[in-house]
């Protein structure tokens, strides 16, 4: 979303229909549009998908698979 917000030129809303919104995580990737070799600006990233999870921090990556391989959700669970 930070990338889309920057492209469209809008800010993340602080409130929607009377409900306060949590701050948005993430970094806009617009800086890469003019330079495909631009260095990443995010030092820490975390993801979860179907029980699998991973964290990247400053060049290091740690992960743990859940019952499914994240990019192969139609496949069978692995042992």
pLDDT tens digits, residue range 28-69?
999 999 999 998 887 888 888 878 899 999 889 999 888 776
**Chain centroid offset of residue 63 CA:** 15
| Cα distance between residue 58 and residue 45, in whole Å | 9
pLDDT at residue 5, as a whole number: 94
pTM here is 0.56
- CA Rg, the chain, in Å? 17
**Helix runs in 1-79, H state only:** 2-8
Contact 47, 39 (CB under 8 A): no
């Amino acid at each position: 979303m930070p990338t889309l917000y920057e492209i469209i030129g809008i800010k993340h809303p602080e409130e929607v229909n009377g409900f306060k919104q949590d701050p948005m995580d993430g970094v806009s990737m617009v800086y890469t549009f003019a330079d495909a070799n631009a260095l990443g600006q995010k030092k820490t990233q975390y993801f979860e998908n179907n029980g699998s999870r991973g964290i990247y921090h400053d060049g290091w990556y740690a992960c743990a698979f859940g019952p499914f391989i994240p990019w192969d959700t139609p496949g069978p669970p692995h042992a």
